[in-house]
Amino acid sequence: MENNKKTLYFEGAGMSETKRNDLNNCRIRTAFINLDGKEIYLELGSGNIYNKKEKEIDKKYFLVVDHLFYIVEGIGDENKTGITKDRQDLRENYNYSNKDITKWINKNLNCNFDNIEILPDLAGYRVHAENRGYNLADNFIYNKDLTAKRELDWWN
């Protein structure tokens, strides 16, 4: 967290070179704890907004919730712990952008994040843990300097 802002970290799960609005990945995922103390798994993607007249992509993308459920020990079934979402509301009112994703998470999942950040691959955050577990973003400490060093070493 920088400047006392509360950031929700995401792992990039799609192609990192795919620009979608102000985000550099077309699919992202995370696990975190909401204000009620409930652990949540969330995976998001983007849907294309088409220009209806010309049938061309308008270069805007709406928010798609691919997976959303409470993480409950001993219950590994998303169908039993799933959290409902309004797909039409998502499509009509939320862009696949930092601002709208943060707004939707805070409003619908009882959170108070200031923003989200998709971490580079070499930052080390992986949402999926061993034995079908999850690594919570709340427990991850992002070190920008170390990540930059790893990236420099990787290319040299």
pLDDT of residue 122: 86
Residue 45 has pLDDT above 80, yes or no: yes
pTM for the structure as a whole? 0.87
**Structure token digits, residue 143:** 């070190």
Top pLDDT among 28 and 81 is at 28
Q: Cβ distance 71 to 132 under 8 Å? A: no
Lowest mean pLDDT among 8-12, 15-19, 109-113, 132-136: 15-19
The Cα angle at residue 96 between residues 130 and 33, in degrees rounded to 5 = 40
pLDDT of residue 83: 93
The Cα angle at residue 32 between residues 29 and 117, in degrees rounded to 5 = 55
Which tens digits make up the pLDDT trace of 84-98? 999 999 999 999 999
Amino acid present at 49: I
pLDDT of residue 117: 94
pLDDT of residue 1: 44
Which tens digits make up the pLDDT trace of 98-148? 999 999 999 999 999 999 999 988 888 999 998 889 999 999 999 888 777
Residue 54 backbone dihedrals phi, psi, to 5 degrees: -100, -5
How do the domains of the chain map onto residue ranges? 7-155
Q: Helix, strand or coil for residue 129?
A: coil
Residues 6+ apart with CB under 8 A from 44: 10, 27, 28, 29, 63, 64, 65, 66, 96, 101
Question: pLDDT band at residue 54, thresholds of 50, 70 and 90?
Answer: low
User: What percent of the chain is modeled with pLDDT above 70?
Assistant: 88
